[in-house]
Structure formats: structure tokens, C-alpha cells
A and B are shown apart, each in its own frame.
Chain A
Amino acid sequence: MDRTTTEWKFSLNIRAALLAVLILVAGLGLWEGLNRTPVMGGAGAELSEYELLMGGADEMARVPPPSQILERAWEELSNPFYDAGPNDKGIGIQLGYSLYRVLSGYLMAAVIAIPIGFLIGMSPLMYKALNPYIQVLRPISPLAWMPLALFIIRDSEASAIFVIFICSIWPMLLNTAFGVAGVRQDWVNVARTHELSPMKTAFKVILPAAAPTILTGMRISIGIAWLVIVAAEMLVGGTGIGYYVWNEWNNLDLTSVIFSILMIGVVGMLLDLALSAVARLVTYQE
């Protein structure tokens, strides 16, 4: 019985992997095939001078085929950290800038959101007093803060970090408050019958009990922060993966645009994986 289930699971994984590869091959094949430049005037026919100037028979700019993108990816990834001036930096450097902004804004948000969330979760008074502000501030698009941030901070770099800060604070704040408020009364009673001080209760009982919920909030936040950084960097410019995408678009280098889109996805996935690994450490089974 047990053996069959594991065998079944094993074969399921293999079949899923095979199917995924099949979808990839079919998708890329279709894309590649549809992007072939049609040859006008029959095989072997000479192109007119005009046709040559216009890029063959292709009258419309086309999305580059996957083969070109792979080629570009290889090129970029084999030398990710080169720096040839402000408009020509390796993909590694650009991603590094974005990661630095995301992580510094995100960590600042965590430092503020988790204690305040704790307070709100523990005290119904604080919850009721702060809730209206949270409800108004939370739905504001983080980019809407950008002009105000630029005006007040007077530094585009810091403004981008501020935008990350403001967008990642809410899920962490609300999840912390929710997790803390939802700690089972039994566990709090255990702390009370053992005469634990409020600080010890907070650290030894409430924090571990609420940790999985807090981590869920942190995971949502990092996802949002990574979404927002691309847009923020398109606005502030200079460095970062968002700027890179926009810069390559201005260069009409669609191959690089598609490559960087893929890189944004890969890095976002890695960030999420990292936090889910942390979440697994603090998760407990009831």
C-alpha cells in the first residue's frame, strides 16, 4: 500500500516534469517557427535593394525568437558584472541595485511593521485607534507616493527605497496583528499560570505562536516589493532592473527586454523560495 503510493507519487513527479518540458519545447518551437522571416518572391529570388534596406521582406518589427534570446542570455550571464558606463552595465549589477533597494526598504518596513503589528494585535485599543489610518493608507498605490517622496527626500535613490518601504509595510503589519490577536488563549493561559512577565510572554509564547502568520505577511510583502521596484526604477532611472528594461526598450533592443523580464521572474521566485524556507523553520503542527 505504502509502496504503491510512493511509486505513484514518483511517477507523477516524472510525468509532470516531462509534461513541463513538452510544453516548453512546444511553446518555444511555435514562437520560433512563427517568427521566421518569410522569404518573398520564391526561393533563391534576389531581394530588391529596397527590400534589403528594409530588413528583408519583413515589413513589421517582430518579437525576437527564443533562439536569439537564449543567445543574449548566454552572453549576458557569462559576464554579468561588467560596467561600461552609465548606460551599459551587466545584468548582475542591475539586479544587484534592485535587490539592494528592495531589501533595504523591506527590512526597514519589517523593523517598524512587526512591533507595531504586535502592539495592535495585543491591544484592542490600539487596534481601534490605528485601524482607520491603516485602512486609508493601505490601498494607496506605492507609486503615488513617489512625487511626495522625491520632494521631501530630494534623492531619487532614497525615494525608491521609500516606495518599497511603504508598499511592503502593510501586509507585514496586518498579518502580524492578525497572528498576534489570534494566538490561542490556552497558550496565553499557560504563560499566565507560569507567571511569565509580559516581555517573556511576548517572546516565548506569542512570537513563536504567531510566527507562521507573520512569515506569511513577510512573504506577501517581498512579492509586492519586487513587483513595485521595477515600476519605481522605471520612474527614477539610473540603475536597477526596472531602469534596464526601460532603457533597452528605448534602445529598441527587444531581445534584452525579454531576457530581463525573464530575469525579474527568476529573481522574484528565488526571493519567495528563500522566505518560504524561513517560514518552514517556524511552522509548527498543532
Chain B
Amino acid sequence: MSHAFVEVQQAAKRFPGARGEEDLTVFENVSFQLDKGEFVCIIGHSGCGKSTIMNALAGLDSLSDGAMIMDGREIQGPSLARGVVFQNYSLLPWLTALENVRFGVRARWKAWDEARVTEHSLEYLEMVGLKGVEDRKPAQLSGGMRQRVSIARAFATKPELLLLDEPFGALDDLTRGVIQDELVKIWGQDRQTVFMITHDVDEAILLADRIFLMTNGPQARIAEAVEIDLPRPRARAEIVKHPHFYRIRNYLVDFLVNRSGELRTADLDRRGLHYPRAVNPVAESATDSDSADAPSSASATDKLVKFTPKETHHG
């Protein structure tokens, strides 16, 4: 039917309500496709179910409804084909940085001898700039270094789909920037398919090919899929100078600040399989820059909408 690498159809998550109350529907009718080698970010306010979608893709959580298919097979349970980087790093604290990466590599290639596992692990640790600290335990590493180990572990196992759950959420801005650049670099080598949750609009623009915008929960859904057609390779310093950058950014921020709460489920289709509407803010604003209802029009560029992501993590 479909030839997309990852296919999610009409996914829903409901929690049974307390006695006499209705079930709580966190999200429903969420459908999307990921192409091979694509980098997709998903943005939405806390509580819209982003993490549930991601955990379901990882096989760690189950959906109430809907199907998830990767490479022609339904996703059931966790698999080495899908690597996960968690927000809280999830390193094993009794192992050194190298041993943590080796843990993943050893699980992936059981036939490899010790020397090969070590060599491969070191290669990825070096790629994230951790050469020289591989014998330290996570407690002796800074938050940024820990997340680098976690990224090295995930990439070293060469999963077909990488799931990043707000990997930089707990880091300060400076560290975040450096690791974002490293992520771009390491992703550029293997071109894995990446699905990433973020609260940071700039981060999403820097990394993503497409950005999924989710409406607020309950009954959240993916409203739009914004295409980011900025040229690659992208660098943080350069990308802000690109003429399209602020147009895209303002479109996203406007969605998060205003439209994510206004768009109710009733406004969107309830039944049937619907993929999120593909949006290209740059092309759209070019064609109907005078139309009043286009939120990404030139006026939005003038008055920068301020959006401060609230750091919470229970989506």
C-alpha cells in the first residue's frame, strides 16, 4: 500500500477515565510517514503525547489504537533496529563511557570479538569529541558529555530508525549548540532516519527536513508537517542569515503560541486516514503574502513573536 519507510496510521492513546467519567484521549488519529534518511522533528506543548508516540515507535509503550509499520513489518516490542536517545541520557552509571557504548555495540554484533567492539565504540566516542574521557564513569562527566555518550551509543549500533526524545532538553544553550553541530555531523555520515522530539524551534529548523506540529492535548493530533527547505549542510551560525529562516521560525512560533491551542479536533478531520497537511511557509507566504489569514505573512516577520519553551517532560 505505502512505500514509506515508517508508516503510522490512525494512532491513538487513551487512558480509562475514573469511574463514571469519560476516557481521556491524549491523542488520536495521528498518521504520518517517514521516508528513509529523513530527519523529522515533532514539536508540541507538554501533554500532547509526543513522548508516547516516540515510546510506541521504540516499542516501549503501546498504543490504544492504530498501527505502526517499519520496513513492511509491524512494530511490536523494542528492537535494535530502532535506537533511542532519552532525555535523561539513560547511561548505566556503573559502566564507564566506553563500556556504555560497548554495551550497545556488543548487543548489536554478538559475533564480534572484544577488540573489534572496543575499536568500533572508540570510533563513535571520538566522533562526538569524547576521546580521552572514555574511562570515566557518567557521574564524572558533565551533562553535555553524558548526552554525547548516549548519542554515541545510539549511533554506534547503526539503527535504521533513531528516536531522540528531547536529547538536549536538560542542557544549557552553549552546550546544546555544540552537540547539535555534532549531531548534524554524525547524522551526515550515516544518514539514518531520525525522529526527534524537541521544544526548541531553532533546534528543529537547524536539524529537520520536516517538522510535525502537534495541537494541544487532550485529543491532540499532528496538524501540519512543515517542510524546511534550507540548504544542507546547515550550521547554526550560517542558518540564521538565510532569508527564509525567520519566516519559517515565525510560522512555527505562531503555531505554538496561538494556533496550537485554537485548533480543536473538530476543525480537523475525525475519520479516515489523513496525513498532516504539508506546509511550506516560505512558498506560501510568497504566493499569498497579502492574505490576512496566512500567519506567516510579512507582518509576522516584522514583529518577532517570542516563544520560550517551558521545560517539562511528561508528554
Contacts and interface: CB of A to CB of B under 8 A. Distances in A.
Closest 10 CB pairs of A and B: A285-B139, A194-B107, A284-B94, A186-B90, A192-B78, A284-B93, A193-B78, A208-B94, A195-B80, A193-B84
B139 A189 contact: no
19 contacts: A186-B88, A186-B90, A189-B78, A190-B90, A190-B92, A193-B59, A193-B60, A193-B80, A194-B104, A194-B107, A194-B108, A195-B107, A204-B103, A205-B92, A282-B94, A284-B93, A284-B139, A286-B93, A286-B139
B58 interface: yes
Interface string B2-44: 0000000000000000000000000000000000000000000
Interface in B65-86: 77-80, 82-84, 86
A209 interface: yes
B137 interface: yes
Contacts of A204: 103
A193 B164 CA distance: 13
A194 B137 contact: no
Interface residues of A, number: 18
A39 interface: no
B78 A195 contact: yes
A278 interface: no
Interface string A163-207: 000000000000000000000001101101111100000001100
Nearest to A282: B94
Contacts of A282: 94
A121 B88 CA distance: 24
Given A193-B58, A194-B80, A196-B107, A186 B139 contact: no
Nearest to B91: A190
Contacts of B94: 208-209, 211, 282, 284
Contacts of B83: 193
A192 B137 contact: no
A285 B93 CA distance: 6
Interface residues of B, number: 23
Given A194-B104, A195-B80, A187 B90 contact: yes
B137 A189 contact: no
A284 B103 CA distance: 17
Given A189-B84, A193-B84, A286-B93, 14 more contacts: A190-B92, A192-B59, A193-B59, A193-B60, A193-B79, A194-B80, A194-B157, A195-B79, A195-B107, A284-B93, A284-B94, A284-B137, A284-B139, A285-B93
Nearest to B159: A193
Among A190, A196, A211, the most chain B Cβ lie within 10 Å of the Cβ of A190
B90 A189 contact: yes
Among A194, A284, A286, the most chain B Cβ lie within 10 Å of the Cβ of A194
B80 A208 contact: no
B79 to A, nearest CB: 6
A192 B107 contact: no
Contacts of B82: 193
A186 B107 contact: no
B107 A189 contact: no
Nearest to B82: A193
A189 B60 contact: yes
Contacts of B84: 189, 193
A132 B87 CA distance: 39
Contacts of B108: 194
B138 to A, nearest CB: 8
A193 B79 CA distance: 6
Contacts of A189: 60, 78, 84, 86, 90
A217 B84 CA distance: 34
A203 B137 CA distance: 19
B137 A285 contact: yes
Contacts of B58: 193
Contacts of B60: 189, 192-193
Contacts of A194: 80, 103-104, 107-108, 157
Contacts of B59: 192-193
Contacts of B139: 284-286
B203 to A, nearest CB: 22
A243 to B, nearest CB: 43
Nearest to A197: B107
B51 to A, nearest CB: 12
A190 B83 CA distance: 10
Nearest to A187: B92
Given A189-B60, A194-B104, A208 B79 contact: no
Interface string B45-67: 00000000000001110000000
Contacts of B93: 284-286
A208 B107 contact: no
B151 to A, nearest CB: 14
A286 B95 CA distance: 11
Nearest to A194: B107
Nearest to B90: A186
B30 to A, nearest CB: 22
Interface in A254-286: 282, 284-286
Contacts of A196: 107
A286 to B, nearest CB: 5
Contacts of A211: 94
Nearest to B58: A193
Contacts of A205: 92
